[in-house]
Structure 1
Amino acid sequence: MKKLLCELEHCSTDEQRQKIEDMNELMEEMGEEEFKSVFTKEWFNEMDKMIEEKILSWENAILLLKHVGYCQTLKCFFDFAFKDSFLSNRFQEMIIEEKMMIEEKDEKLLVDLCECYLLLNGWPSSEMDSIIVPCLLKVALKKEENEESQKEVEMALLALSNFRSYNMRKELYINEIKEIIEYHQEHHNLTRIAYQSAWKFFLNRSHFDHSLEHVIVNEVHFEREAIRELEELAKWMNWKKKEEEMSKKEEKEVLIIGRWLHALGIFFRLFRLWKEEFAELIGSVAHVCRAARENNKEISNWCICSLRNATENGNVRVEDLLKGRAIDVVLEEIHRQTLNKNIEYHSLDFFFSISRRAKEKEKDKMKEEKRKEAKRKVLEKMEEEGYEDTITSFHELFGFFSAQFYYQLSLNIFDYFVYV
């Protein structure tokens, strides 16, 4: 890839475009480690130099950079190489200059610049927020269902999904993102990536604005939509295929499932409202975990992480975890000989959290009876699998690590773990 970039210097504009298309195909096959080893700060600085010396046209540079950002964002590769480069500064200056133009403003160029910048750097300054967000939401609000328009909307929403700065004024986005989600719920005009990206952008905003919780749960019904999307995606996936045997369309579907699971991790970790659909939502995650277990460990691992997050948050009840068969799935995972240290940690933390939650007494008599019943069912489930003593033996260990260096637990737990 680095060699191909150097070769662009000696090509005509049309030849550059063909080579860039070849480069775009190559990067789609890259894993995270290879991707980060290629697209370094030095690589982006070299791109900046080629643009400065007019060796590479802006049109071709955007074609290449937008695809770098597209692959990075779709696959959830988090990197700061672009953010620390000279090219990032150039993009900021050009976006501000283009926005300030009153006459002869190139709207398409401004959109391209905003998409590239946000796909490659999800942490813009507050000054950039007020330019980038309205610009891309305007594109995302397009209602046309032709292929070209859908691609434009998808790219704008995918870029917004990478927006990880949280101190943003609600009035910059709230009405627009609600309209995009609600319109899709009625007309189904968005691609799967676009719809998931709209949700991810919305959920990310809730980190520092908890007033959004009511809107997300009670007005646009995230849990209902997540259930439907996960079940629909899982239904069409051929999980028996090995990863290398999947078509590009199937690979993309797997990536979208992974992005939904990542969004669920945010949802379970932050939200405090409870709804009856939570048991069904847990069940959908458990179903995907079982389906992906043999041939896509990354997806099944994300499922376990999402379920672990659910146990730590009071918005999911222990009986929801029982009804959704989350406990069965995590017990099955512990039995597997291929269990890695990270999943050992998440699995044991799952049971530790359930045990803690089951002990929390309720003042309301009816709720207290439900708590006792749920606790009894959990213990019976663990006794059936022979795990009650094993999990109990970790209580002191978890307490120690929670107080001292909780996040290093996965590094130590392998020495203590017992396969029963």
Structure 2
Amino acid sequence: MKEMIIDENKKKEEMNEKILTDLCECYALLGEDDIFDEVLSIIVPCLLKVASKKDETEEAQKEVEMSLLALGNIGLWEMKRELYLNEIKEIKEIIKYHQEHQNLTRLAYQSAWQFLIHQLFQDKSLEEVIVNELHFSKEAARELEDLSKSVGRNRKEDGKGENEAKEVLAFERWFFLINLYFYSCKLWNEELIGLISSIVQVFQASRDNYPDARCRCLYSLRRAVEKRKVKIDDLLKSGAVGLYLEEMKQSTLDDKNMSDCLYFFLSISERLKEKEDDEKEEAKRKSIKRKMFEWKEEEGYEDVMTSFHAILPDLADKSKFLPLSKYSSDYLWSL
């Protein structure tokens, strides 16, 4: 297929753009691990040319959606900086145009973001663009809220049907993207508080009916607290901290969700222990620590942690990610 793409591109004037586009989409969606710059330099501009169409006919929208889906799938391939600078500019324009005109399908819009955020792994200068220019947190929060409403509406209208299944799949794709964002982007702005609050709201709405969505919320909020720029005070205000405590009180909590809860509180505990050099920041840290201490006593958090003391070693051994502590005292904080 690589040779077919290269050969078709060499035809220049005689090149069949439809065939080349189909080949590029197929190759990108295969998700091959190894790819050469020569092929990337053909695939990415070809797919972006299709993705940039402004035609809003159903056929054109399908073409745009497929090209962006393929682009999102190749995001982790390492491209030379000089190769993708123009491509990043084009994908920015596609996202901006959608924000103004709402011309993309939900899948296409998510895929455009996926392609862009994947590039953060090799170019941290994109953080400013993603956070403060394109406002990812604000857009992701809006998408989650819209999806929550549409899932509820579809359930009332026709029960668990095809429409609801599509919305749940869209949830999963957005949570994948949000987790990627929390992992790879370190910048912070006020809009991040809104995104965290939206995740909390989705968790509360899905607690009884959508266990998979509930699990994804727990994992995403755990990722948020691991993001060093997310303020612990914001986690308190958004309701994320209280949500985790309520979850830990559940008698039917499985090992995966319990591990996410423990990671969440372990990260908070570790961050509250970190003294600040700046006097104002240190005073703020102590104030938040006092708030957390008082909240811990009011909500019975210490008793909850004590009740899990016996199973902590087993959970820690099962951990597949960062090491979990085997000692309950590591998840607590004292004045």
Secondary structure at 2:320 match in 1: helix
2:2 is matched with 92
Of the three residues 130, 133, 144, the one matched with 1:216 is: 130
For structure 2, the 5+ residue unaligned runs are 327-335
Kindly provide the CA deviation profile for residues 73-106 of structure 1, in whole angstroms up to 9, marking residues without a partner as x: xxxxxxxxxxxxxxxxxx2222222122224311
Number of residue pairs matched? 320
Rounded to whole Å, the distance in 1 between the matches of 2:313 and 2:17 is 56
Q: Comparing both chains, which one has the higher relative contact order based on Cα–Cα distances under 8 Å and sequence gaps of 6 or more?
A: 2
State which of 283, 292, 298 in structure 1 corresponds to 2:197: 283
Deviation per CA, 1:224-252: give whole Å up to 9, x if none: 1111111121122228959x942322221
Flag the 1:213–1:401 CA change in 2: closer, same or farther, 3 A: farther
Counterpart mapping for 1:392-411 below 5 A: 407=320
Pairwise CA distance, 1:412: 11
1:157-188: CA deviation from partner (whole Å, max 9, x where unpaired): 11111114342133252111110011111111
Change (3 A) 1:363 1:400: farther
Q: Structure 1 residues 324 and 159, CA, compared in 2 at 3 Å: closer, same or farther?
A: same
**Is residue 130 from structure 1 mapped to residue 41 from structure 2 by the alignment?**
yes
1:142 lines up with 2:56 in the alignment: no
Q: How does 1:51-70 map to 2 (within 5 A)?
A: none
Q: Is the 8 A contact 1:140 1:156 kept in 2?
A: yes
Describe the SS at the equivalent of 2:104. coil
Match of residue 190 from structure 1: 104
Relative distance call for 1:378 and 1:293 in structure 2 (3 A) is: same
Aligned Cα root-mean-square deviation (Å): 2.9
Counterpart code for 1:144: D
Aligned-pair identity in percent equals 50
Taking structure 1 as reference, are residues 278 and 122 closer, same or farther at Cα in structure 2, changes over 3 Å only?
farther
User: Does the alignment pair 1:252 with 2:174?
Assistant: no
SS in 1 for 2:12: coil
Picking from 362, 373, 392, the partner of 2:276 is 362
Q: The residue matched to 1:125 in structure 2 has which SS? A: coil
CA contact (8 A) 1:401 1:409 kept: no
2-structure distance, mates of 1:293, 1:239: 17
Measured at CA, do residues 337 and 122 of structure 1 come closer, stay the same or move farther in structure 2, by a change above 3 Å? Answer: farther
- Please tell me whether the aligned partners of residues 275 and 282 of structure 2 are also in contact (alpha carbons under 8 angstroms): yes
Residue in structure 2 matching 1:307, options 202, 217, 221:
221
After TM superposition, give the deviation of residue 391 of structure 1 in Å. 3.9
Question: Judging changes above 3 Å, is the alpha-carbon distance between structure 1 residues 287 and 361 closer, same or farther for their aligned structure 2 residues?
Answer: same
TM-score when normalising by structure 2: 0.86
Q: Which amino acid aligns with 2:201?
A: H
The match for 1:22 is none
- On the 8 A contact 1:223/1:277 being kept in 2, the answer is yes
Separation in structure 2 between the aligned mates of residue 340 and residue 149 of structure 1, nearest angstrom? 45
TM superposition shift of 1:364:
2.4
- Alignment CA distance shift 1:309-1:399 (3 Å): farther
The residue correspondences of 1:288-367 to structure 2 (distance < 5 A) are: 288-367=202-281
Instruction: Give the structure 1 partner of residue 333 of structure 2.
Output: none
- Structure 2 residue 293 is the aligned partner of structure 1 residue 382: no
Show structure 1 runs of 5+ residues with no match: 1-90, 414-420
CA distance in 2, matches of 1:268, 1:297: 22
TM-aligned CA deviation for residue 297 of structure 1: 1.7
Per the alignment, do residues 270 and 406 of structure 1 end up closer, same or farther by CA in structure 2, a change over 3 Å counting?
same
Equivalent residue number for residue 274 of structure 1: 188
User: Counterparts of 1:399 and 1:204 in 2: how far apart (Å)?
Assistant: 35
CA positional deviation for 1:312: 1.1
CA distance in 1, matches of 2:284, 2:163: 45
Report the Cα offset of residue 393 of structure 1: 9.2
Structure 1 stretches of 4+ with a deviation exceeding 3 A read 239-242, 389-395, 397-402, 408-413
Letter in 1 for 2:66: M
SS of the residue corresponding to residue 253 of structure 2 reads coil
| CA deviation after TM superposition for structure 1 residue 369, in Å | 2.6
Partner of 1:161: 72
Deviates more, 1:163-172 or 1:226-235: 163-172
Deviation at 1:190, TM superposition (A): 0.7
Deviation at 1:208, TM superposition (A): 1.8
| Distance in 2 between residues matched to 1:398 and 1:340, nearest whole Å | 13
CA 1:327/1:121 → structure 2, altered by over 3 Å: closer, same or farther? same
Contact 2:91/2:112 (8 A) holds in 1? yes
**Residues 154 and 191 of structure 1 are in contact (CA less than 8 Å); yes or no, is this contact kept in structure 2?**
yes
Q: For the residues of structure 2 that align with 1:390 and 1:247, how far apart are their CA atoms?
A: 39
CA distance in 2, matches of 1:211, 1:408: 27
